[in-house]
Structure 1
Amino acid sequence: MASIKFRLRSEANKNVAIKVRIILGRGKQDLELNTGFTINPKDWNTPDKENPKKGDNFPKQNNPENKVLFNNLKKLESFLFKSVNTDLGESVVIDTFWLEAKINDCFKRVVKNDKGLLINHTQYIIDNASTRTIGNNTGLSKETIKSYVSFKKVILEYQLTIKKQIQFIDLTAPFIEKFKIWMLTKKKYAKNTAGRKLQMLKTICIDAEKHEIPVTPYSKIIQHFGESNKDRYIQTLSFTELEQIKNVDLSNAEQLKEFKASNPELTKGISITPEALDNARKWILLGCEIGQRGGDLLKITNENIRYKGTNIYIDIIQQKTNKSVTIGIIAPHVIDIIENHLPKEVPHQKLNDYVKVVCKLAGINETVKGSKLNTATNRKELGTYPKHELITTHCFRRSFATNYYKKIPTAVLIGITGHSKESLFLTYINQREDKDSNADLFMKFYSDLHKDKTPEMKVILNTGTV
């Protein structure tokens, strides 16, 4: 059990440093560091040697400044207790470097004048997210900001592991290799996750150099990576499976009650009622016809719907890319949903839970290979599972792209999904570029373009020459 105490190391009649001391495991580990706060010893509530119960080793609350200091030390005490318990459970090394980092983390202290620190420039990007220019747009999206915040947390954790603050000049090839190995083996990140962290590291290095911060030459050519096509298992709902979902009967409350009783893990934490499941079904059918990310899909309201004559359009500004996209709606069952039964918004994770239930009830139970989150480790694990267990809101967008690929020109699909180029779109649906299909489409469109034209008759003059 941890013991956390504050104390002064001097009784001089002037402000002195307040230190924090952590003792772990009956004195097996004894750490002490400055908290960064100071106080005059006369304002410190020192325990009485004859009566230790008098005095608590905290500031006397005899003026406004000392009250603030008292609250700050209480905040630090609580933060350190929580951090010790969390990190001991995750086998994190508890040492003076850890303690220094936690003190700074508690009060969000950043050494602003040291521009050479990776963590400082990352924070600079986060702090100035609203004014950063990307292409023709000003301001980073919420998703991009979240990615920078997540990256910063990873770097803070890695600094605790290596017991040093990372400078841009540290980012050599051997350093990056060790960082990559740590992410893949110690943290057990998926290849795509580790690859994205390296890609963000490279982006931050390039940005730092633009701000005249010295970086290593290697930092600008950091190689990121991801899963190969053969290692990627994506899940989609085919037109046939969507028909099953559309037709499954979700109205029998008694049957649903029995289903919940026989599937406690699948239905844990959600209400298995006809109304809730039908609402989820509408999101599935709508999502698989408009090709948008879950966050954008769930924000659709009547304000996004536009009529032009007899045509129906949905206008969306994508949160992740800030792109404006328009989707034309023509499927009769989707028109019915939009005009008469627009589903209610559901928390993203809750909808993921409901989707699995709807898919199982619809008979989408084929055993397939894929990755599923292990809640104990918070990591995805590759294996074979019933397909309904792998379906999430993100599968809607992939289903749209996969189902209509080669049936509708890729350029049209990209305009709806918002992918910046065809190669990214094809990677997204795990397809290789098929050059023959482009040629076939050209011939088809050419034939359609000229099929109603009357052949022109040409008069060839007979000149009588042989």
Structure 2
Amino acid sequence: MATGKFRLKTNNDWNTIFFRFKQGNKFDIETSIGIQVPKGRWSDVKQEILSTKEINYKTINVKLKEFEAYIRKEYENTKIINESTIINSKWLKEKIDTFFNRETENKTANEKLFFSNFIGSFIEEAKTKRTKRGTPVKPRTIQYYNTTLNKITTFESFAGYRLKLTDIDLNFHEKFIDYLEKEEFLINNTIGGFIDTIKLFCGNADKKELNVCKDYKLTEFYSPSNKTKDIYLKDSEIDLIYNTKFEQDYLDNTKDWFIIGVRTGFRISDFLKLEKENLDNGFIYKNTHKTEFPVIIPIHEQVQEILDKRNGEFPRKISDQKFNEYIKKVSEIAGLTELTEGAKKVTFEVIKDGKKKNISRKKFGKYPKHELVTSHACRRSFATNLYGKIDTLTIMKITGHKSEKIFLDYIKITPKEYAEKLKAFWKNNSL
């Protein structure tokens, strides 16, 4: 029968506890458990730390008894689960580190214990995983998983400790949100996205029957959010931009792409990639990049005029970044100067680690509308302007929204605009 015993090897002011584990002539191994006791406060007979004010001896004594029982159980498991396991100093050290929640040299053991290690393995699995529809996980999704992992590791550096799967509780939730708000200067919607992803990680660990805290299931483990103030352009404002003449070619080119965006409902990743080959007999055909869903849409008269102006070709190619930069200038020249509620990126100076640093973050407020116009306004304007004029399902098939609830959250008709629609209806249908 295997036996275990704690002992000290030195008689210094502070002495490390070692654990010796042996069974006849099969093995006799010994290694440090990484805990020290003050001189004269260890009882070899009682196998425990004697009363002392210098350390929390009661808690340590409980852990020592739990550890001895744990080692016996792990050893007995090797006889049932894997008889080929070699019981040596490496095995003992790994069990000590696992029990005391320390990182080991065993990759699998670390992934079952530490949150960031588990996330790393989750990401690697995701790279070859298939979705419910049988398609690969998109690179953009993998990138967001990595961004969330980065926030976890920077939080660990800030807090000064490694997070275990069992640490992802309501206390962590509160501290992590506070960190992202005060140290990373992130807005609620961004923070909420990270919390949602953390819940996904915890749920996956739970399915694998790992020892994970169940707090992530509680309503208190909420994802912060803001009521977004995303803008859209009314048809009259789109026409204003369309009819504005621009002397600079790069602005005229950007204007044409913008009109194509708002009259097709495509995302910027799709409409900026349109080619002559996507045209056929008065329709635009496109397999969308994000959803890989084929969309067919009739060519709007303004888009047709742009194509005619360019001998049947789409405008000159432009990057997403340049488009979002130039479209603000286009909108300004067109006269979209009305103060409008929304969020835009602003750069401000902060002091971090004793050094001044410039960071860019979204900030809510009232700004001239042209400062808020981005590529996101294209698809949102398309959907909002058509809502109520044709059936919702038709719009959703083009925009790619999977549920009416998500779609209705996406469109940006204000309560006042709904009231004006009702007023016009009553006027047109009065006796």
Give TM-score, length-normalised by structure 2: 0.64
* Superposition deviation, residue 410 in structure 1: 1.3
**CA offsets 1:414-447 (integer angstroms, 9 cap, x no match):** 11111121111111224699xx99xx9xxxxxxx
SS at match of 2:143: helix
Q: For residue 312 of structure 1, what is the aligned residue in structure 2?
A: 283
Describe how 1:52-67 pairs up with structure 2 within 5 A: none
Query: 1: CA distance between counterparts of 2:325 and 2:106?
Result: 40
Describe how 1:48-197 pairs up with structure 2 within 5 A: 111=107, 113-115=109-111, 116-197=113-194
378, 393, 401: which is aligned to 1:419?
401
Q: For residue 243 of structure 1, what is the aligned residue in structure 2?
A: 239
Query: 2: CA distance between counterparts of 1:424 and 1:330?
Result: 26
**CA offsets 1:35-75 (integer angstroms, 9 cap, x no match):** xxxxxxxxxxxxxxxxxxxxxxxxxxxxxxxxxxxxxxxxx
330, 344, 366: which is aligned to 2:316?
344
* Superposition deviation, residue 214 in structure 1: 2.1
Does structure 2 retain, via aligned residues, the 8 Å contact 1:129–1:140? yes
Confirm whether residue 396 of structure 1 aligns to residue 370 of structure 2. no
* Superposition deviation, residue 209 in structure 1: 2.0
Query: 1: CA distance between counterparts of 2:408 and 2:190?
Result: 19
* Superposition deviation, residue 385 in structure 1: 1.4
207, 211, 235: which is aligned to 1:210?
207
Closer, same or farther in 2 for the Cα pair 1:331/1:365, shift >3 Å? Answer: same
Query: 2: CA distance between counterparts of 1:137 and 1:275?
Result: 44
Q: For residue 353 of structure 1, what is the aligned residue in structure 2?
A: 325
Query: 1: CA distance between counterparts of 2:317 and 2:149?
Result: 31
Q: For residue 14 of structure 1, what is the aligned residue in structure 2?
A: none
Q: For residue 298 of structure 2, what is the aligned residue in structure 1?
A: 329
Does structure 2 retain, via aligned residues, the 8 Å contact 1:364–1:388? yes
Moved more, 150-159 or 176-185: 176-185
285, 295, 301: which is aligned to 2:269?
295
Does structure 1 retain, via aligned residues, the 8 Å contact 2:268–2:375? yes
SS at match of 1:343: coil
| Paired amino acid for 2:239 | E
Q: For residue 368 of structure 1, what is the aligned residue in structure 2?
A: 340
Does structure 2 retain, via aligned residues, the 8 Å contact 1:325–1:415? no
Does structure 2 retain, via aligned residues, the 8 Å contact 1:234–1:370? yes
Closer, same or farther in 2 for the Cα pair 1:145/1:432, shift >3 Å? Answer: farther
* Superposition deviation, residue 351 in structure 1: 0.8
Does structure 1 retain, via aligned residues, the 8 Å contact 2:297–2:398? no
* Superposition deviation, residue 150 in structure 1: 1.0
**CA offsets 1:5-54 (integer angstroms, 9 cap, x no match):** xxxxxxxxxxxxxxxxxxxxxxxxxxxxxxxxxxxxxxxxxxxxxxxxxx
| Paired amino acid for 1:312 | F
Does structure 1 retain, via aligned residues, the 8 Å contact 2:384–2:413? no
Q: For residue 198 of structure 2, what is the aligned residue in structure 1?
A: 201
Does structure 2 retain, via aligned residues, the 8 Å contact 1:170–1:216? yes
| Paired amino acid for 1:318 | H
Query: 1: CA distance between counterparts of 2:116 and 2:276?
Result: 43
Closer, same or farther in 2 for the Cα pair 1:413/1:111, shift >3 Å? Answer: same
Query: 1: CA distance between counterparts of 2:413 and 2:242?
Result: 27
- Unaligned runs of 5+ residues in structure 2 are 1-104, 349-358, 423-431
SS at match of 1:278: helix
Closer, same or farther in 2 for the Cα pair 1:245/1:227, shift >3 Å? Answer: same
Aligned length in residues: 298
Moved more, 199-208 or 337-346: 337-346
**CA offsets 1:303-360 (integer angstroms, 9 cap, x no match):** 4x142xx4413212332xx331313123112124356240222121111111011111
Query: 2: CA distance between counterparts of 1:171 and 1:311?
Result: 55
Closer, same or farther in 2 for the Cα pair 1:201/1:184, shift >3 Å? Answer: same
Query: 2: CA distance between counterparts of 1:383 and 1:165?
Result: 38
Query: 2: CA distance between counterparts of 1:335 and 1:329?
Result: 10
* Superposition deviation, residue 373 in structure 1: 0.9
* Superposition deviation, residue 298 in structure 1: 2.0
SS at match of 2:366: strand
Confirm whether residue 407 of structure 1 aligns to residue 404 of structure 2. no
* Superposition deviation, residue 152 in structure 1: 1.1
**CA offsets 1:241-268 (integer angstroms, 9 cap, x no match):** 11111111113xxxxxxxxxxxxxxxxx
Percent sequence identity over aligned pairs: 29
Closer, same or farther in 2 for the Cα pair 1:144/1:277, shift >3 Å? Answer: same
Closer, same or farther in 2 for the Cα pair 1:110/1:332, shift >3 Å? Answer: farther
Query: 2: CA distance between counterparts of 1:417 and 1:198?
Result: 27
- Unaligned runs of 5+ residues in structure 1 are 1-108, 252-273, 441-466
Does structure 1 retain, via aligned residues, the 8 Å contact 2:193–2:223? yes
* Superposition deviation, residue 219 in structure 1: 2.0
| Paired amino acid for 1:314 | Y
Moved more, 211-220 or 353-362: 211-220
Confirm whether residue 378 of structure 1 aligns to residue 349 of structure 2. no
* Superposition deviation, residue 151 in structure 1: 0.6
